[in-house]
Amino acid sequence: MSVFDVAEGTSPVILAFPHTGTDVPDEIAARLNDNGRLLADTDWHVDRLYAGLLADATTVRATFHRYVIDANRDPSGASLYPGQNTTGLIPVTDFDGAPIWKAGEEPGDSDIALRRAAYHEPYHAALAAQIERVKARHGVVVLYDCHSIRSLVPYLFEGTLPDLNIGTAHGTTCDPQVEAAVVAVAEAATDFTHVLNGRFVGGWTTRHYGRPDENVHAVQMELSQISHLATEAPPFEYDAAKAERLRMTLKSILERLEQVAFRLQSRENADG
């Protein structure tokens, strides 16, 4: 079974889904405790939420769960948010700080090395290949990294998370036009709250691939799950009515990003 799914499109926009996968090999699942087997920290239904919003976009989706290894963490294990609570390359706790592995079954260095080679590296090789393919076609790429999280996670942040959390590593991972396009749509969406570079400024994917000086622009969108789920607790059911309202805003964001990409392409052609 492949550890990733790719659907190639003709748009300059690529959608990445590192955390929607729920596949856990039996030998790894056997080491999870009852809490870990809930897979609670999945980005529930995010791939469904974005399905069909930009017909020609390329999509790259990890099929494995983040408890196997987190595709949006630095493969070196370095923290993305030094000094703040977070989860690692292979999490040892859930987002509430509770253990997810049976006592004595926590992953060690050998597990990290094996899973990095078997899951993390192939996913990112596939994503990097699509970035190169799209860039060869258009001369410019907008990588949009798709995420979600519960709106209330005291272990990770205080208070209630805004609905739309836009991350560009403080403007370093994309052209200002890309950042401005996402913010403009979010500001116009009066049904939803938003923040730019708040608690989530973009994970390893955004920071690693975002190279605006090389015409690769990356932005992360972390959605509050209450915006599209019936409840932020098992069974994490999709709320179609809620989701459809959100999909309208997300569609506008993606369409605006595509327009910006074509403008950047024209600018690059003119400069060239």
| pLDDT attached to residue 267 | 75
Residue whose structure tokens are 């989706």? 61
| pLDDT attached to residue 150 | 98
Instruction: Specify the fold of 4-269.
Output: Aminopeptidase (3.40.630)
| pLDDT attached to residue 266 | 77
Residue whose structure tokens are 């079974």? 1
Paired residues of 194 in beta bridges: 164
Do residues 58 and 15 make contact, with C-beta atoms less than 8 angstroms apart? Answer: yes
| pLDDT attached to residue 269 | 66
Q: Is the peptide bond before 235 cis (omega within 30 degrees of 0)?
A: yes
Do residues 21 and 222 make contact, with C-beta atoms less than 8 angstroms apart? Answer: no
Size (the chain), residues: 272
Sheet of 194-196: strands edge to edge?
A: 4-7, 58-62, 13-17, 141-149, 216-224, 164-167, 194-196
What are φ and ψ of residue 71, in 5° steps?
Answer: -70, -10
| pLDDT attached to residue 135 | 98
- For residue 269, give the H/E element and its range: helix 240-271
Instruction: Tell me the per-residue pLDDT of 6-49, one tens digit each, with 9 for 90 and over.
Output: 999 999 999 999 999 999 999 999 999 999 999 999 999 999 99
| pLDDT attached to residue 265 | 87
pLDDT in tens, the chain (272 residues): 699 999 999 999 999 999 999 999 999 999 999 999 999 999 999 999 999 999 999 999 999 999 999 999 999 999 999 989 999 999 999 999 999 999 999 999 999 999 999 999 999 999 999 999 999 999 999 999 999 999 999 999 999 999 999 999 999 999 999 999 999 999 999 999 999 999 999 999 999 999 999 999 999 999 999 999 999 999 999 999 999 999 999 999 999 999 999 999 877 666 65
- The encoded tokens of residue 232 equal 């932020």
